[in-house]
C-alpha cells in the first residue's frame, strides 16, 4: 500500500482563500489565512494480490510490469483516489499536480 498527503481544501472558504470583510484577516479566510488550504488528506493506492501477480512477482517481474498487471485487475491508483477527493471538494487538481506528478 502506498500513501501520499495532499493539502486539504479549506472547508470554510471552499478553497477561495476569501473570507472575513472586517478585522485583521479582512479579505482573507480566517481559518486558512487566505491560503485556501487547511489541514491534510491522505490518498491511497492498495494493491490486492491475485494469481497472476503472485506468479509474476515470483518470476521477478519489474515494477512497471507489476503495476500494469495490477491496473488491469482493477487496482485504483493514488491519482484515481485523489480525483475522487477532488470531486468531493476535499482537495484540488493543483495538489494532484504538485504531489503526484
For residue 83, the minimal CB distance to Zn ion (Å) is 22
User: Minimum distance between the CB of residue 10 and Zn ion, rounded to whole angstroms?
Assistant: 3
Which helix (H) or strand (E) is 79 found in, with range?
A: helix 78-87
> In 10 A of CB 99, how many CB atoms?
16
Q: How far apart are CA 61 and CA 41, in angstroms?
A: 32
- Closest approach, Cβ 76 to Zn ion, in A, equals 29
Kindly tell me which of 10 and 78 has the beta carbon lying closer to Zn ion: 10
Which is nearer to Zn ion, 19 or 45 (by Cβ)?
19
Amino acid at each position: 500500500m502506498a500513501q501520499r498527503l495532499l493539502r486539504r481544501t479549506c472547508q470554510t472558504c471552499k478553497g477561495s482563500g476569501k473570507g472575513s470583510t472586517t478585522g485583521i484577516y479582512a479579505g482573507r479566510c480566517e481559518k486558512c489565512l487566505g491560503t485556501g488550504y487547511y489541514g491534510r488528506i491522505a490518498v491511497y493506492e492498495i494493491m490486492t494480490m491475485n494469481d497472476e501477480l503472485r506468479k509474476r512477482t515470483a518470476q521477478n517481474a519489474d515494477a512497471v510490469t507489476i503495476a500494469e498487471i495490477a491496473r488491469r485487475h482493477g487496482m485504483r491508483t493514488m491519482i484515481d483516489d485523489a480525483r475522487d477527493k477532488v470531486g468531493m471538494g476535499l482537495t484540488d487538481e493543483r495538489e494532484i499536480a504538485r504531489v503526484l506528478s
